[in-house]
Structure 1
Amino acid sequence: MRIGFTLPQFGELAHHPQHVTHFARQAEALGADSLWVGDRLLAPVDPKVGYAGTDVIPPEFRSALDPFALLTAAAAVTERVQLGSNVINAPWYPPAVLARALTSIDLLSAGRLLVGLGTGWSPEEYETTGIPMAERGRRLDECLDVLTAWWTQNPVEYRGAHWTVPASHIDLKPAARPRPPVYLGAFAPAALARAARRADGWLPIAPVGRKYAGSDPIAALTSTLAGLRETAEREGRDPARFDAILRVNPDADASVEDIAATIVRAESEAGLGHCFVELSYLTKDVEHSLDLAGRVLESARAR
């Protein structure tokens, strides 16, 4: 199992951006396989939609560093780890701007980028970016079209309902040929169908902690992944090549053993080969983050 961790991006960790490169270097030295970012713009005072089925926004989201800046910083100081996004909220960005940023990070990292895209869930964030939330699925589809063209064609031209790229010479292509792998975060039926039809893989989530004791996220993702692979096969794709990378999302009360057990089950029961641990809710200090990462790696790999 490949095991990764989130970069220090949210909450108290975001107030010490000078520690990002230190964390990236040390996590790679500890044996981490990947480093990850998310994409949060703001934390509404009175949210119309809360986070993860709740009616509130986690206080950690009140402080957020830019995901592209963090991936760039990590690319500059590491040599081996993959660098992933879970997820970039693609409809917020003009696809050409997003393509330029992702191509640059992939080149800076010598082809280590894992592109994870989604649509987000916050109406206030869509209001702030000036993008109609009702168009988010269609805009994501167009973004995927533009990214594919940007990375595989030259000249590049695209004309859609929401975005346009006039015929242009785009000589700079990713180091990962023909393009970086693209994963989609998806939970609603239409989003899951899009992932099976268009993506290289899916980005599921497994919450860990006492309040989730009555649920079984590994069993749920195993069933969903099987359905996605069936859909991919119906679309004429090789289901064996449809991948998944799990985000282990622990509450503050989750132990290292709880996290390690979830990782082991994801491999043994769901057949997953890659996961990463969200550290934002577990620690406010970069050295504590590194200590947790080391103990999770040791516990998971000893089982």
Structure 2
Amino acid sequence: MASTMQLGISLEPPRWPSSAGGMVLQTALRAEQLGLHYVLMSDHVLTSANGSGLDSMTLLSAIAGATSKIRLATSILVLPYRHPVAVAGQAATLDIVSGGRFSLGVGTGWNAKEFAALGLDVRQRGARTDEYLAVLRALWSGEPVDFAGRFTTLSKAEPAIAPRTKGGPAIWVGGSSDAALRRALRFGDGWHGSAADEAAVRDVRSRLAVLGEELDRDPEQLKLSSVCFLVPPGFETNGPLPGSLLGGPAASTQQLLDALGRLGAAGLSMVSLWMPLDPHQLSDALGWVATELLPDLRVI
């Protein structure tokens, strides 16, 4: 079944060893050579059972220099963890060094321990995210910024560097609550979630339509993408499964293609494949994806 979606590879959850810097970059370069469309990276500041621990913005900057075509995205950056002026500069730099290939996926976060370690109140995460997104948009406008908010005060602030992309890199907003969907409509170019089946995607689209009328924003302007967990046939996971598998347990190649086709028909434009495998298996798994899945996907 053909689909109109693109495929990306998440560089999480393999727990990359400290000596694996070259392997990480080689994995990203192989994804590009095989024709995948995105490399994505999550965001953790403390150890996580499902996380690699590598800093997402630093890693994607290195990947930007090692590649030339594949697109890059955070999936997702916990925006309340960082001052928006710093994020604006980091994202603008990535936009420049990648030649406009970078998208900034953001969310509110959830890990109370990480918020506490950073001296932040986890209960303020939604308010901080909304305010910081407004600051990012203002800083990327090309004009000096005056801003008086709950957490941020700026007076005629001019960023040190302007992004390559007019208005800044694309912003994808994560989360499935009504607050998150409102945030995507107010500030985003896309929504990036964890919808594992077409019913979940259709539910998000339905709720976006209702909220779009409330906010006077056409939800069709948002590109929808999602993370899906995949263990290719013949491969074994290296730990507990982080969520429901694409196509169901022990899915065949055809079942996986059918599942992707249904997600595309429901409205997804990109699926980020999160493969909970040993890092040394990722290269072979990418080869399987390129051979068995990509030929039956119609690129946008």
1:88–1:117 Cα contact (<8 Å) kept: yes
Where does the alignment leave 5 or more consecutive residues of structure 2 unmatched? 232-236, 238-248
Q: Does 1:26 align with 2:23?
A: no
Give the aligned partner of residue 274 of structure 1.
270
Instruction: Identify the match of residue 298 of structure 1 among 276, 291, 295.
Output: 291
The 3-state SS of whatever aligns with 1:245 is strand
2:175–2:192 Cα contact (<8 Å) kept: yes
For normalisation by structure 2, the TM-score amounts to: 0.84
Give the aligned partner of residue 155 of structure 2.
166
Give the aligned partner of residue 264 of structure 1.
261
The worse-fitting range, judged by mean Cα deviation, of 158-167 and 119-128 is: 158-167
Give the aligned partner of residue 222 of structure 1.
202
Give the aligned partner of residue 75 of structure 1.
64
Matches within 5 A, 1:175-254: 175-207=164-196, 217-250=197-230, 252=237
Counterpart CA distance in 1 for 2:222 and 2:295 is 28
For normalisation by structure 1, the TM-score amounts to: 0.83
Shift of 1:14: 5.9
Identity %: 28
Counterpart CA distance in 1 for 2:83 and 2:229 is 29
1:259–1:296 Cα contact (<8 Å) kept: no
1:256–1:295 Cα contact (<8 Å) kept: no
The 3-state SS of whatever aligns with 2:293 is helix
Shift of 1:28: 0.4
- Per-residue displacement from partner, 1:160-218 (whole Å, max 9, x unpaired)? 111222322336221122221111111222222222333222112145xxxxxxxxx32
1:195 to 1:79, Cα distance in 2 relative to 1, 3 A: same
The 3-state SS of whatever aligns with 2:166 is coil
The one-letter code of the counterpart of 2:34 is: L
Counterpart CA distance in 2 for 1:283 and 1:218 is 29
The one-letter code of the counterpart of 1:267 is: G
Q: Does 1:65 align with 2:45?
A: no
1:202–1:244 Cα contact (<8 Å) kept: yes
2:13–2:274 Cα contact (<8 Å) kept: no
- Per-residue displacement from partner, 1:21-75 (whole Å, max 9, x unpaired)? 21121110100101000001213xxxxxxxxxxxxx63x43x5111111110111
1:9 to 1:76, Cα distance in 2 relative to 1, 3 A: farther
**Greater relative CO (CA pairs within 8 A, separation 6+):** 2
Where does the alignment leave 5 or more consecutive residues of structure 1 unmatched? 44-56, 208-216
The worse-fitting range, judged by mean Cα deviation, of 73-82 and 231-240 is: 231-240
RMSD: 2.1
The one-letter code of the counterpart of 1:273 is: S
The one-letter code of the counterpart of 1:298 is: T
Shift of 1:77: 1.2
1:254 to 1:135, Cα distance in 2 relative to 1, 3 A: farther
Shift of 1:272: 1.7
1:159–1:165 Cα contact (<8 Å) kept: yes
| Count of aligned pairs | 275
The worse-fitting range, judged by mean Cα deviation, of 248-257 and 221-230 is: 248-257
Give the aligned partner of residue 210 of structure 1.
none
The worse-fitting range, judged by mean Cα deviation, of 176-185 and 5-14 is: 5-14
1:254 to 1:198, Cα distance in 2 relative to 1, 3 A: farther
The one-letter code of the counterpart of 1:276 is: S
